Amino acid sequence: MGTKAAPQKDLNLSNSEDDVFMKSRSARKRKAQGIRHRLNSSSKKKKIISCKLSTSSTGSFSKENLRGKNKKLAVDLQKLKITLSKLNREYVALQKYNQEAMVTVRRKRAQVNDIQNHIKNETKMRIQVCHTSTWYMFTFR
d(CA 129, CA 135): 10
Give Cβ neighbours of residue 52 (< 8 Å, ≥ 6 apart): 34
pLDDT of residue 62: 75
Assess whether pLDDT exceeds 80 at residue 9: no
Within 8 A by CB and 6+ apart from 48, the residues are: 36, 39
pLDDT reported for residue 47: 56
CA distance 37 to 46: 14
Q: What does the pLDDT look like over 62-111, one tens digit per residue? A: 777 778 888 889 999 999 999 999 999 999 999 999 999 999 999 999 99
CA distance 62 to 68: 10
Model confidence pLDDT, tens digit, residues 13-38: 556 666 766 777 777 766 666 544 44
Query: How many C-beta neighbours within 10 Å does residue 3 have?
Result: 5
CB 34 within 8 A of CB 55: no
Three-state SS at 49: helix
Side chain identity at residue 4, one-letter code: K
Give the DSSP letter of residue 9: P
